[in-house]
Amino acid sequence: MNSASRSTTPMPVRSPCVKVCEMDEATRLCRGCYRTQEERDWWVAYSDQQQRDVLLRCEQRREVLVAGEGVLAPSMGIVEPRRKGGRL
Protein backbone atom coordinates (compact mmCIF):
# COMPACT_ATOMS: atom_id res chain seq x y z
CA MET A 1 0.00 0.00 0.00
CA ASN A 2 1.48 3.36 -0.95
CA SER A 3 1.21 6.50 1.15
CA ALA A 4 -1.34 8.08 -1.23
CA SER A 5 -3.86 5.32 -0.45
CA ARG A 6 -3.48 5.40 3.33
CA SER A 7 -6.31 6.73 5.43
CA THR A 8 -5.90 10.24 6.81
CA THR A 9 -8.42 9.63 9.58
CA PRO A 10 -6.74 10.63 12.86
CA MET A 11 -6.38 7.95 15.52
CA PRO A 12 -8.31 8.68 18.70
CA VAL A 13 -6.22 9.25 21.81
CA ARG A 14 -6.56 6.42 24.31
CA SER A 15 -7.25 7.27 27.90
CA PRO A 16 -4.29 6.61 30.21
CA CYS A 17 -6.66 5.05 32.76
CA VAL A 18 -5.44 1.68 34.05
CA LYS A 19 -8.42 1.17 36.39
CA VAL A 20 -6.49 2.14 39.53
CA CYS A 21 -8.55 5.23 40.24
CA GLU A 22 -7.21 6.37 43.59
CA MET A 23 -5.89 9.83 44.30
CA ASP A 24 -2.62 10.17 46.20
CA GLU A 25 -3.10 12.80 48.91
CA ALA A 26 0.53 13.92 48.86
CA THR A 27 0.90 14.41 45.09
CA ARG A 28 -2.78 14.98 44.29
CA LEU A 29 -2.33 12.63 41.32
CA CYS A 30 -4.11 9.43 40.39
CA ARG A 31 -1.94 6.51 41.51
CA GLY A 32 -2.76 4.61 38.33
CA CYS A 33 -2.42 7.12 35.50
CA TYR A 34 -0.75 10.17 37.12
CA ARG A 35 -3.49 12.58 36.03
CA THR A 36 -4.83 15.30 38.30
CA GLN A 37 -8.49 15.19 39.30
CA GLU A 38 -9.23 17.99 36.82
CA GLU A 39 -7.51 16.10 34.01
CA ARG A 40 -9.55 13.00 34.84
CA ASP A 41 -12.78 14.99 34.98
CA TRP A 42 -12.12 16.94 31.76
CA TRP A 43 -10.53 14.16 29.68
CA VAL A 44 -13.52 13.75 27.34
CA ALA A 45 -13.78 17.52 26.80
CA TYR A 46 -10.12 17.98 25.85
CA SER A 47 -9.19 18.09 22.17
CA ASP A 48 -6.97 15.32 20.82
CA GLN A 49 -3.95 17.61 21.13
CA GLN A 50 -4.84 18.52 24.70
CA GLN A 51 -5.19 14.82 25.52
CA ARG A 52 -1.75 14.18 24.02
CA ASP A 53 -0.39 17.02 26.18
CA VAL A 54 -1.91 15.37 29.26
CA LEU A 55 -0.26 12.05 28.31
CA LEU A 56 3.13 13.79 28.11
CA ARG A 57 2.54 15.37 31.52
CA CYS A 58 1.58 11.97 32.97
CA GLU A 59 4.77 10.39 31.65
CA GLN A 60 6.88 13.23 33.06
CA ARG A 61 5.17 12.91 36.45
CA ARG A 62 5.72 9.15 36.51
CA GLU A 63 9.42 9.62 35.73
CA VAL A 64 9.82 12.23 38.48
CA LEU A 65 8.07 10.04 41.04
CA VAL A 66 10.09 6.95 40.10
CA ALA A 67 13.35 8.95 40.26
CA GLY A 68 12.32 10.53 43.54
CA GLU A 69 13.40 13.98 42.43
CA GLY A 70 12.35 16.76 40.12
CA VAL A 71 9.34 18.99 39.63
CA LEU A 72 5.99 17.53 38.65
CA ALA A 73 4.37 18.90 35.50
CA PRO A 74 1.44 21.22 36.29
CA SER A 75 -2.16 20.25 35.65
CA MET A 76 -3.79 21.05 32.31
CA GLY A 77 -6.73 22.10 34.43
CA ILE A 78 -10.04 23.19 33.01
CA VAL A 79 -9.83 24.27 29.38
CA GLU A 80 -12.25 25.26 26.68
CA PRO A 81 -13.51 22.17 24.86
CA ARG A 82 -12.41 22.00 21.24
CA ARG A 83 -14.08 18.79 20.09
CA LYS A 84 -15.66 18.38 16.67
CA GLY A 85 -16.80 21.83 15.68
CA GLY A 86 -16.22 23.24 19.17
CA ARG A 87 -18.98 21.12 20.68
CA LEU A 88 -18.86 18.38 23.24
Radius of gyration of the CA atoms of the chain, in A: 15
pTM of the model: 0.78
State the Cα–Cα distance between residues 66 and 3, nearest whole angstrom: 40
The tens place of each residue's pLDDT in the chain, 88 residues long, gives 555 556 677 788 999 999 999 999 999 999 999 999 999 999 999 999 999 999 999 999 999 999 999 999 999 988 765 555 555 4
State the Cα–Cα distance between residues 4 and 66, nearest whole angstrom: 43
The answer to whether 58 and 16 are in contact (CB under 8 A) is yes
